[in-house]
Amino acid sequence: MIRAGIIGATGYAGAELVRILSGHPDAEISAVGSVSYEGKPLSGAYPAYYRLCDKICENEKDVIKKSDIVFAALPSGLSQKIAQECFCAGKFFIDMGADFRFKRENDYRRWYHGKFIFPELHEKAAYGLPELFRENIKGSRLVANPGCYATAVSLALAPALESGLISPDGIIADCSSGVTGSGRKITQNTHFPELNESMTAYKAGCHRHTPEMEQTLSTVSGKETHITFVPHLIPVSRGILATCYAKLKPGVTMEQLRNAYEKRYGREFFIRLLPDGCTADIKNVRLSNFCDISLHIDSHTKTLIAVSAIDNMVKGAAGQAMQNMNLMLGLDEKAGLTSLPPAF
């Protein structure tokens, strides 16, 4: 069995990774790490895991020693030194934060106010969006797990850009996310009286996932691509709905769009291209690693409307991390991730 360790196991993404990894046929959780709960059982932070995962939370060095692959479910800025330690020890490493997502250090400096501590390590990192960059992930020892919004938006738009069916300029991504995307630490806007019966935009035009989306879409299209991104917080626990708008090239039809998406995603298990007339809905992907995509055309303005739905804690975080682990270690890519979404 592959020994998998999780640093930051008491955050939402880390706890979700514990839940999903517990059902993996070829891996076992070797150790869990947490600063705030060190020396205490994980089930003390999450009673749902009582008698199912009562592992004692340890420090990061002990987690690394006991593991073949290490997941860091930490805030941005905390993973680079851990990654270096894992790399020197011959361990595989998946960063669920943003430390290794950018090709250009200037982007990381501008949006995350950090620097590349080990530049050579960044050159070795693969960007872990399997449906677009699978071959880069296979066999890599260091993978940057994408952001949740970046996953939903990139998957919604990539085939249309790749095929040259839409303009790379003037793209708008209007996204709504469940509150788990804000992390476990409460803030005023995630406080129940503020969040309940509410919907609000935040970080409009200045969200940190914007350059990540632009980097991915520019790579796919082969042209510099810019995007206007506005996220919204909605009163649900999990899920992201990304409604993306892009100008169609002259004469582009729905048939051409569907052919492009079928060509790119037709064999992808975790992407479900919905039939005409259906619209992606977060309730249909809840607790799963699926991304549902629906395509629509506004014939009046010649605009593509691509809608994607993911569970931000699974395909947007822990599930995608495990999908990357499977690819890195030569396992069945779907291993441990084939559970059906709940029907209601």
Q: pLDDT > 70: what percent of the chain? A: 100
The overall average pLDDT reported for the chain is 96
Q: Side by side, which strands form the sheet with 2-7?
A: 57-58, 27-33, 2-7, 69-72, 92-95, 142-144, 126-127
What is residue 19's predicted lDDT score, i.e. its pLDDT?
A: 97
Distance, CA of 22 to CA of 46 (rounded, Å): 15
pLDDT tens for residues 234-264? Answer: 999 999 999 999 999 999 999 999 999 999 9
Other C-beta atoms within 10 Å of 330: how many?
9
- What are the sequence ranges of the domains in the chain? 2-124, 149-312
Residues contacting 145, CB < 8 A, separation 6+: 94, 95, 96, 128, 317, 320, 321, 324
What is residue 192's predicted lDDT score, i.e. its pLDDT?
A: 81
Q: Is 278 a catalytic residue?
A: no
Distance, CA of 217 to CA of 273 (rounded, Å): 19
The reported pTM is 0.96
Distance, CA of 288 to CA of 154 (rounded, Å): 18
- Per-residue pLDDT at 76 exceeds 80: yes
Distance, CA of 342 to CA of 233 (rounded, Å): 23
In this structure, which CATH number among 2.40.50.140, 3.40.50.720, 3.30.420.40, 3.40.640.10 belongs to the domain 2-124? Answer: 3.40.50.720
What are the tokens at 169? Answer: 């300029």
Topology given in CATH for the domain delimited by 149-312: Dihydrodipicolinate Reductase; domain 2 (3.30.360)
pLDDT tens for residues 23-52? Answer: 999 999 999 999 999 999 999 999 999 999
pLDDT tens for residues 127-179? Answer: 999 999 999 999 899 999 999 999 999 999 999 999 999 999 999 999 999 99
- Per-residue pLDDT at 4 exceeds 80: yes
* Helix residue ranges per DSSP H, 222-279: 254-265
Q: Is the Cβ–Cβ distance between 100 and 144 less than 8 Å?
A: yes
Marked catalytic residue, from 57, 86, 148, 291:
148
Predicted confidence band of residue 311 (pLDDT cuts 50, 70, 90): very high
The beta-strand segments (E) located in the chain are 2-7, 27-33, 57-58, 69-72, 92-95, 126-127, 142-144, 171-177, 200-201, 227-233, 240-247, 271-273, 291-298, 303-310
Q: Is the Cβ–Cβ distance between 279 and 268 less than 8 Å?
A: no
- Comparing 204-213, 278-287, 305-314, which segment has the lowest mean pLDDT? 204-213
Predicted confidence band of residue 317 (pLDDT cuts 50, 70, 90): very high
